[in-house]
Amino acid sequence: MSSTKRSSRDRSWVAYARELGVNLHRARMATGMSQERVAHLAGIAGFTYQKFEKGESRPGHPMNPQLLTLVSLSQVLGVPVVDLLPDWEPQLPARD
């Protein structure tokens, strides 16, 4: 696969993760809860949740939460999982 095509796919995944983070932020703001409270109730570290709202798992890497974590967050925030996910499908990152 060419580096241009791989780069395009990687950018697509980064954008998808970033939009998921925005959706988490909006849902949290609607509840009035703090990031720490959401993280505690979902069973994850506060720092992890802070990174999720930025669409990251660690600096420079898009988030890719486990399904259990995503479902826990949706329950804590009181929204269906589908409402947290962006309404478009990313090109999946290349697997080496």
pLDDT in tens, 3-61: 455 566 688 999 999 999 999 999 999 999 999 999 999 999 999 999 999 999 988 89
Residue 29 lies in a domain: yes
pLDDT number for residue 95? 66
Chain centre distance of CA 75: 15
Beta strands in the chain (DSSP E): 56-58, 61-62
Distance between CA 93 and CA 84 in Å, rounded? 20
pLDDT at 78: 98
**Residue entry with tokens 């939009």:** 19
How many H helices and E strands in the chain?
A: 5, 2
Nearest to 19 by CA among 70, 65, 62, 72: 62
90 part of a folded domain: no
Q: For position 31, which CATH number holds?
A: 1.10.260.40
Torsion of CA 89, 94, 95, 96, to 10 degrees: 180
Report yes or no on 67 lying in a domain. Answer: yes
Structure tokens at 49: 């949740």
How many domains are there within the chain? 1
Query: Which range marks the domain in which residue 47 is found?
Result: 3-84
Q: Is the pTM of this model over 0.75?
A: yes
In a domain, 91, yes or no: no
Tell whether 9 is covered by a domain. Answer: yes
Least confident of 2-11, 46-55, 75-84, 85-94: 2-11
**Can you give the pLDDT at residue 10?**
81
